[in-house]
Amino acid sequence: MIDMGVSVRKLNNALKSLGLTVDMLDAVIVTHEHTDHIKGLATFAKKYSVPVYMTNGTSHAVLQKIPYANNIIHTFCGGDGFDIGSAKIESFLTPHDANESVGYIISCDNITFGFATDLGFVSQNIKNMLSSCDFVVLEANHDIDMLKNGVYPYQLKQRVLGNYGHLSNAACAKCVVDLVQNGVKTVVLAHLSEQNNTPVVALRHINEMLFTFGLTCELFVAPVHEMEQPILLGMEVEQPCLALGSFA
């Protein structure tokens, strides 16, 4: 499981809807310490012993708030890789105002899955990493005009728009074109702002850009609050190696 931005109660309900329990998770991998990514971790660490992987920088920030999580936290350097069971995990540093934040590439049973949210821009390294994937979850945080004309205070607008903030629909669309040209077949747009974006606006941006380049791909939007139908990766295995039920 990637990140834990919901309460343990909500997590349990979500897993139950997939026929799973927390004990069936091999591990949790965390991108960074912002609350919308670790909200459930304080309670999780009291109740469960499932290993939770994060960078050294993220763990410093997390342990200041949740020192007892030390028992289940495993650390690595941002950019390093490791294995969880038969899954190969690679990480890449993301430009974001957090402490050593990362995105992930997960390879298992000949399927490669990439995850990149909370990034101010898509660096060449990130593009290269995601280009190797069959399936990518990518941030489409805001529509630039909606953000600029919206209710956020000036400082927050500058933070979101900055190189260590969040990815706009326009920047996401450019990246999706590159990824599809490199063979990525399916993209899930994620981490949409409720104030400064809508699924319709995000999809329009990405579809228009793909159309301009004469490209198509399978596109989904991860809902912000509820579980979406799982997308099962790995058609030939009875027990799919990756199931994505997504909270943004």
Instruction: Give me the residues that bind Zn ion (CB under 5 A), please.
Output: 34, 36, 118
Task: Please report how close the Cβ of residue 98 comes to Zn ion at its closest, in angstroms.
Answer: 5
Closest CB to Zn ion among residues 153, 214: 153
Question: Residue 219 burial (CB < 10 Å; 0-12/13-18/19+)?
Answer: middle
Task: Please report how close the Cβ of residue 162 comes to Zn ion at its closest, in angstroms.
Answer: 12
Helix boundaries (H) for 106-242: 124-131, 144-149, 154-161, 169-181, 199-212
Strands (E), the chain: 28-29, 52-55, 73-76, 81-84, 87-93, 102-108, 111-116, 135-139, 186-190, 218-221, 231-233, 242-244
Closest CB to Zn ion among residues 34, 157: 34
Task: Please report how close the Cβ of residue 34 comes to Zn ion at its closest, in angstroms.
Answer: 4
Closest CB to Zn ion among residues 209, 248: 248
Task: Please report how close the Cβ of residue 82 comes to Zn ion at its closest, in angstroms.
Answer: 22
For residue 151, give Cα distances in angstroms to 154, 196, 202.
Answer: 9, 9, 19
Closest CB to Zn ion among residues 118, 143: 118
Closest CB to Zn ion among residues 34, 142: 34
Task: Please report how close the Cβ of residue 77 comes to Zn ion at its closest, in angstroms.
Answer: 19
Closest CB to Zn ion among residues 100, 118: 118
For residue 17, give Cα distances in angstroms to 24, 25, 104, 118.
Answer: 14, 14, 25, 27
Task: Please report how close the Cβ of residue 37 comes to Zn ion at its closest, in angstroms.
Answer: 6
The residue whose Cβ lies closest to Zn ion is: 34
Q: Give the whole-angstrom CA distance, residue 84 versus residue 26.
A: 7
Q: Which 8-state DSSP code applies to residue 230? A: P
